[in-house]
């Protein structure tokens, strides 16, 4: 069976101040996979996601979402940035942050109304954060903040989800809660792309993986390509990880 390609990246090169951080990336992500992007620090994992989402401008190459440019497909895509990328002292509540997920479908100027609020409350419920809806976001723990971010992505009701290190600095309960939601999303036919750090959990959490270190090392099903050979190529000499089969 030939799968649909959800995300296609062609010859993508991205540079900061003329220094390439991603070099000639070709990548096809099939629809319905739960994919981890792994690689060492500075490998360009976040940069890859940001370039796909048009937040960073590549110096060469192109990206398409279901064969169309990202600009045309925004409604299909939800994004969870790194938790550390925002100021959690910002004067706003958990519910309000989740509501921001609905802004994309509203477009410029139009204000969110009851429908958007209802959707946001449902998303909060799904991540188990409904009791905290009125709490100021700095008063939430790291795990709770991450769940708020996840709820904000869920409320977008997208087909493709990009998440930048959703498991960073969260407690074990939150990690399990998040991965369960991600697996549910996959079951519903959604495509989920996650920047991931913990190599130990890759085989348990994900069914697809991309090794990245400035260049693309390998991409494919976890069971076929998650091996010491690719890990060594990505992380340097003789990287060994004990993969439980």
In the complex, the smallest distance separating the C-beta of residue 234 from another protein, rounded to whole angstroms, is 25
In the complex, the smallest distance separating the C-beta of residue 191 from another protein, rounded to whole angstroms, is 16
| Residue whose C-alpha is closest to residue 55's, from 27, 34, 85 | 85
Query: Crossing angle of helices 142-154/114-126, nearest 10°?
Result: 130
Whole-angstrom Cα distance, residue 201 to residue 36?
10
Residue 245 in the binding site for another protein (CB under 8 A): no
User: Is the CB of 155 or the CB of 212 nearer to another protein?
Assistant: 155
In the complex, the smallest distance separating the C-beta of residue 87 from another protein, rounded to whole angstroms, is 7
User: Is the CB of 144 or the CB of 219 nearer to another protein?
Assistant: 144
Residue 157 CB neighbours (<10 A): 15
- Number of chain residues interacting with another protein (CB under 8 A): 40
Residues, the chain: 245
Residue 180 in the binding site for another protein (CB under 8 A): no
In the complex, the smallest distance separating the C-beta of residue 241 from another protein, rounded to whole angstroms, is 26
- Residue of 68, 86, 176, 236 interacting with another protein (CB under 8 A): 86
Residue 73 in the binding site for another protein (CB under 8 A): no
- Residue of 53, 121, 218, 225 interacting with another protein (CB under 8 A): 53
Given a contact cutoff of 8 angstroms between Cβ atoms, the answer to whether 165 and 197 are in contact is yes
**Greatest CA separation found in the chain?**
56
Residue 175 CB neighbours (<10 A): 18
Residue 176 in the binding site for another protein (CB under 8 A): no
Whole-angstrom Cα distance, residue 163 to residue 148?
13
Run of H or E including 121: helix 114-126
Residues that bind another protein (CB under 8 A): 17, 50, 53-55, 71, 74, 77, 79, 81, 85-87, 90-93, 96-97, 100, 103-104, 106-109, 111-112, 131, 136, 138-141, 143-144, 152, 171-173
């Amino acid at each position: 069976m030939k799968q649909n390609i959800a995300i296609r990246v062609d010859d993508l090169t991205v540079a900061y101040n003329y220094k390439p951080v991603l070099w000639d990336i070709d990548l096809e992500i099939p629809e319905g996979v739960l994919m981890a992007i792994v690689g060492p620090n500075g490998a360009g994992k976040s940069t890859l996601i940001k370039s796909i989402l048009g937040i960073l401008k590549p110096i060469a190459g192109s990206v398409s979402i279901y064969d169309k440019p990202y600009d045309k497909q925004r409604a299909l895509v939800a994004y969870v940035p790194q938790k550390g990328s925002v100021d959690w002292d910002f004067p706003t509540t958990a519910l309000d942050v989740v509501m921001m997920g609905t802004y994309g479908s509203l477009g410029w100027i139009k204000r969110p109304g009851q429908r958007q609020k209802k959707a946001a409350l449902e998303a909060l419920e799904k991540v188990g954060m409904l009791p905290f809806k009125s709490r100021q976001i700095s008063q939430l723990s790291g795990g709770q903040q991450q769940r708020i971010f996840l709820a904000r992505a869920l409320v977008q009701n997208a087909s493709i989800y990009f998440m930048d290190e959703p498991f960073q600095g969260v407690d074990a309960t939150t990690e399990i809660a998040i991965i369960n939601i991600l697996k549910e999303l996959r079951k519903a036919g959604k495509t989920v792309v996650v920047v991931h750090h913990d190599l130990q959990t890759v085989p348990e959490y994900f069914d697809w993986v991309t090794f990245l270190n400035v260049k693309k090392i390998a991409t494919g099903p976890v069971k076929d390509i998650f091996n010491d050979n690719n890990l060594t190529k990505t992380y340097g000499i003789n990287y060994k990880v004990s993969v439980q089969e």
